[in-house]
Structures are given as C-alpha cells and as structure tokens.
Amino acid sequence: MMHHSLTIDQDVCWGCTHCMKQCPTQAIRIHDGHAHVLSGLCINCGQCLHACPHGAIRIEQTPFGEVTRYARRVAIVPAIFFAQFPDTYTIPHICQAIRQLGFTDLYLAESGVDVLNQLSPRIIPKTGLTISNYCPAVMKLIQMRYPLLLEDLTLRRPPSQIMAMFARAEILAEGVDAQTIGVFYFTPCAAKIAQIKTTGSDESRLFQGAINMDTAYNKVREYLSSHKTPDPSLPDGFTFPGCTASALLWSTVKGECIGVTERAMAVDEMHNVIDFLEQLEEDENTNLNFLELDACAEGCAGGVLTVRNRFLANERLRHWAQSLPSELDDALQERIDQYQDIIRNDMEMERPIPSEALVWDTDTSKAIHKMENSRMIANALPGIDCGLCGAPTCRTLAEDIARSEASIRQCVVLKLKDPKLMNQLSKIWGDRSLGKGLYNGSDVS
C-alpha cells in the first residue's frame, strides 16, 4: 500500500476548499470544517500544498537526527538543490556545507544519467511510444487513471536510484559493514518521499531516508551565512566526480528528450499532463517516439519543496551546465567500469501494475450496482460543481453517496426552498441546473 507523505493539520485547516479545488485527482473532501484526503485517490503531487493559503498541509520527512545513526552518511543530491542558491555561493562551497551538516559522502543524482547512458544506451523503438517513468507523481497517475498506458512506460531506474546503488557498492568495496551505511535523498518532491516511505518499494530498499529540500536548504544556508568563504582545510566537491552537461539538465523540462534523436516531446504541469494523457487514451496518433511528463511546472525546479523561483533555478542549472564536459571524463568512466556489473544486474524496475482508485465494493456485482447508482444520483444533482457540499464536483458527491460515504442532504442547492434565493441562483447558473433532476421545490432533506 502506497504511503502518503502529506498530512493536513486539523488545527490550522479552515476547510476553505482551496486545496479541494486544485487537487487533480479529486482526492479531497471537506468534513466538519476541515479538509480530509481520500488516500486511495491521492498521488502525492503536492498541488494542494501549493494551494493552501493557511499553511495547513505538511510533508513528512525523515527527522534529520536519523542521519547520525549511520557511520557512513551518504547524501544523494539532485542538481536542482544547488540551483536553489544564488551565484554568490559556489558549488564546492555548498558541497562543503552539506558535509559540515554531517554527511561523509556526497553523490550528485545526475551522475546516474551518465551511468545509465553508459550501461544501457536508450533504445527508442522506431514505431510506438515510450513514456518516461521518471516523475513518480505522473507514474502514480498513470497507474490509477490510464492503466492501458502502463505498457508504454520505460523501465529504466531513475538516476537517483542508480547513484544510491553506486554509492553503496563503492563504500562496501572499502570493507565497510552494510548496516552502517545510510543513504539519504535530498528531494524537491512529495511523491518521492511517499515512494521512499512505502514499505517494500525499491526506494525503501535503496534509501534509508528522504531529506526535504527546503529543510536542507535552510540548514545549508545557515551554515553559509556564518562561513562566507570556503574553508581550504575542509573537503569539498563530490565523492563521485560530477556529470556531463546534458546529464545535469535531466530534471529540467525536455531534459530527458536531450539525446533522443527520434521524435520526442515534453509536457509539464499536472493539468497539461492530464489533458495530454486523456488525448492519448482516446487513441490520438501523435507519431511521437518518446514522451516526457513532469507533474510540476518547469520540471523539478517547480517541485513543492523547492524554495527558489523555478525559472531562476533552471537558469542557474543551464549556466552550470556550460562549464561541464559534453563527454564522460576518464575519472567518471573508470569508476563506472569498476562497478558496472553490480549496476547492470539491477537497472530495470518491475513494470508498475494498475492501482484501483475508488474501491466501490469488494463484491463485483455490488460494485457495478453502486456505480450505476452513482450515475443516477449524478443526473439528479445540479451539475454546477459549487463545492459547498464538501466534494469538489457533483459527480464526486454522487460517487461518495453511492459508496455510503456522503448524503444527498449535503447538496445545498437541492435544499433551497426560498424562491427569492432560487431566483438569485438561477441568474448565476441558469434555470436548467437548478430545475434539473431532484429539485422540484419540495424538501429533500
């Protein structure tokens, strides 16, 4: 069962419905003046966190103190973390700060792109479409809503997983006890935290914890503000020697399309992704060979745990990329060669299976009956999706009613008896919505 990384602080939540309106999978309901998440529908995209004006939504993380439980403390840091900082702080200076937080080994997540490209050059079929599996929020969405597209997913492990494997292999080769190695991922992404905290997942096997990027940023920034220049006596730089220019841009929009010579396209932002997947499901013939989908605007630079303006962050990445080589350097190549067998044996993920969003009933005939009921109830509701009932749309209220999770009494419009109020509402929504279905002026409570 997928872990959920978001929680709503009921003491802070006002039930204002901002989150409910933004949720792309209609996973939020308002009850008793507070928002609640239907965990089966949530894909951990974090859009609700962005939408909440009261700061009531929190993203879980591994307590920072967990890091000190391990003798070898490995940070897998994506390039976008370094891009959170203004140019006044150099990459080595930031690396030094991360080490001063207690990490003994530092790997750039994007080095994993070079490892992947080296060990398994991407083969895009000449016909048919391959969809990137990189963004975990999109992958969960496909599992839930577009299961027919699961066949088209690429199964290569994401670069962060590859580097977690690489780091462990290098440190084990030093003769270190496996139990004393802790690998932590600095993440901009609520969906990644959910993966890492899901028992039995690949991520929970490869990472001992996730550090939220905003937390790590604040800690590093605090160190940097009291250590204005790098200390030459302290180690800086990555344990693993960097990456190529194209690898560095992997998490930006079109980053994965770089190097795909066939027809490739990128779509970012969840509502665009959903629009496009709807079209694909309707058998739109795109002639595309590769499709990159990012839940966040501007890719991971727009991740919910980032702190900097996403355009500035991506600009910093592009600037950094200009100073990097276009080909693997010898140091990188040598280390890849050394551990290639270990990585090669575990480079592919299992194909994800469909996950049911709404459980109507464990009994199939009852489930079909409830689905039919929900369609009838939806026809009876006004269809104006006002949200006053605490569900995002009339259709979701109808589904909740059919599953005995809500009552038709929650529909405020159906309960209106005052002709003056009805007249006012019909000026806004028209007579058709208000006169449709059950409403006939009689008491429906």
**188 versus 390: smaller Cβ distance to ligand SF4:** 188
Residue 83 binding ligand SF4, by CB under 6 A: no
Q: Which residues pair with 57 in a beta bridge?
A: 8
**29 versus 370: smaller Cβ distance to ligand SF4:** 29
**Least Å distance between CB 313 and ligand SF4?**
11
Residue 397 binding ligand SF4, by CB under 6 A: no
**Least Å distance between CB 294 and ligand SF4?**
4
Q: Which stretch binds ligand SF4 (CB under 6 A): 166-174, 281-289, 293-301, 318-326?
A: 293-301
- Which residue do the tokens 């997540």 mark? 109
**47 versus 212: smaller Cβ distance to ligand SF4:** 47
**Helices 91-100, 213-226: crossing angle, 10 deg rounding:** 100
Residue 28 binding ligand SF4, by CB under 6 A: yes
**Least Å distance between CB 238 and ligand SF4?**
21
Instruction: Annotate each residue in 126-165 with x if it binds ligand SF4 (CB under 6 A) or - if it does not, as one string.
Output: ---------xxx----------------------------
Backbone dihedral region of 392: left (phi > 0), alpha (psi from -120 to 50 degrees) or beta? Answer: alpha
Q: Are 357 and 41 contacting, i.e. CB atoms less than 8 angstroms apart? A: yes
**29 versus 73: smaller Cβ distance to ligand SF4:** 29
**78 versus 437: smaller Cβ distance to ligand SF4:** 78
Q: How far, in Å, CA of 393 to CA of 370, rounded?
A: 18
**Least Å distance between CB 278 and ligand SF4?**
17
**342 versus 357: smaller Cβ distance to ligand SF4:** 357
Residue 209 binding ligand SF4, by CB under 6 A: no
Residue 42 binding ligand SF4, by CB under 6 A: yes
Out of 2, 6, 264, 413, the only residue in the binding site for ligand SF4 (CB under 6 A) is: 6
Number of chain positions touching ligand SF4 (CB under 6 A): 27
Rg for the chain (alpha carbons), in Å? 25
**23 versus 411: smaller Cβ distance to ligand SF4:** 23
Out of 295, 332, 401, 414, the only residue in the binding site for ligand SF4 (CB under 6 A) is: 295
SS3 annotation, the chain: CCCCCEEECCCCCCCCCHHHHHCCCCCEEEECCEEEECHHHCCCCCHHHHHCCCCCEEECCCCHHHHHHCCEEEEEECHHHHCCCCCCCCHHHHHHHHHHCCCCEEEECCHHHHHHHHHCCCCCCCCCCEECCCCHHHHHHHHHHCHHHHHHECCECCHHHHHHHHHHHHHHCCCCCHHHEEEEEEECCHHHHHHHHCCCCHHHHHCCEEEEHHHHHHHHHHHHHHCCCCCCCCCCCCCCCCCCHHHHCCCCCCCCCCCCCCCEEEEECHHHHHHHHHHHHCCCCCCCCEEEEECCCCHHHHCCCCCCCHHHHHHHHHHHHHCCCCCCCHHHHHHHHHHHHHHHCCCECCCCCCCCCCCCCCCHHHHHHHHHHHHHHHHHCCCCCCCCCCCCCHHHHHHHHHCCCCCHHHCHHHHCCCHHHHHHHHHHHCHHHHHCCCCCCCCCC
What residues between 44 and 73 interact with ligand SF4 by CB under 6 A? Answer: 44-48
Instruction: Annotate each residue in 179-198 with x if it binds ligand SF4 (CB under 6 A) or - if it does not, as one string.
Output: ---------xx-xx------
**Least Å distance between CB 325 and ligand SF4?**
25
Q: Which stretch binds ligand SF4 (CB under 6 A): 198-206, 299-307, 331-339, 389-397?
A: 299-307
**25 versus 212: smaller Cβ distance to ligand SF4:** 25
**Least Å distance between CB 5 and ligand SF4?**
8
Residue 411 binding ligand SF4, by CB under 6 A: no
**272 versus 340: smaller Cβ distance to ligand SF4:** 272
Residue 396 binding ligand SF4, by CB under 6 A: no
Residues that bind ligand SF4 (CB under 6 A): 6, 22-23, 25, 27-28, 37, 42-48, 135-137, 188-189, 191-192, 294-296, 299-300, 303
